[in-house]
Amino acid sequence: MSEARGRKNIFITGAASGIGAETARFFAKKGWFVGLYDIDSFGLKAIADEIGAENCHSAILDVTDRNAWGEAIAGFSEATEKRMNVLFNNAGIGRHGWLEDVPAEDADAVIDVNVKGVINGVYAALPLLKETRGARIINTASTAGVIGTPRLAVYSASKFAVRGLSEALDVEFSGLDIRVCSLIPWFVDTPILNMAEEEGSNRHMKDELLAGGLNVYPVSMAAEKVWEATHGKASSYTVGKDADQARFGSRFLPGLVRKRLLKSLPKRKS
């Protein structure tokens, strides 16, 4: 088994692709020991091979499975001498479309991964975090967790929950020397944007965003913000100027935001 050998470390869920994989690369280049966890075994192997076996520990992890969390934390603890500098709760899924077109089972899965998965991670990692001076929890939320986003309703609800959880725990854990913050990306070029509105459709969410003139930011920007969140004092960190504007608008111009959302909606097919 690879060992941290005194290096700072980060435990990353959803590490096989997107923001998780890019964050793993970024932190490894900074000399950190990286824990890689995902349900995608092929993606995990690819990123582990890329950053080097001596720089990481990886394992399959379904974040909705509490027993699996226990096993993952035990393996990471052995590799890091029972320390965890950063828990990056990043695993997430989405479903795009009108609510009535989203199967209830898909909605359940979004809540299970995006909300319950984060809570499971905090419970499982807390003993290690308590033993690590200045530890930090970073939870991936979304701009959809700042503004209720139509045709992403359940995903949006899940990310509001992540923000609320993060803010509450940051206060709760202040006496434990553990900071908790949220990452709030605008649309970032990750596999989640490959969501199709309908099964079998060749038109994905990213296509719709670009056609509507919306920005999609490179994943490297998100990784840089995770690094900033690891060392900063803010309660949340936005990714992209559009995320900053959305947060400002939700607070000071909610009526204007609603009008823009209404204007952006496509017509229902029936």
Q: What are phi and psi of 258, to 5 degrees?
A: -60, -45
- Known catalytic residue at 123: no
* Coil vs helix vs strand at 218: coil
- Return the exposure string of 88-118: e unless at least 16 CB atoms fall within 10 Å of the residue's CB, then b: bbbbbbbbbbeeeebeeeebebbbbbbbebb
Which tokens hold the place of 185? 């990306």
Q: What is the distance between the alpha carbons of residues 25 and 18, in angstroms, rounded to a whole number?
A: 11
Whether 119 contacts 41, CB under 8 Å: no
Q: Which of 37, 123, 155, 217 is catalytic?
A: 155
Strand partners, 135: 178
Nearest-Å Rg of the Cα atoms of the chain is: 18
Nearest partner of 230 among 76, 38, 79, 8, judged by Cα: 8
**CA count, 13 A, side-chain hemisphere, 207:** 9
Residue numbers annotated as active site: 155
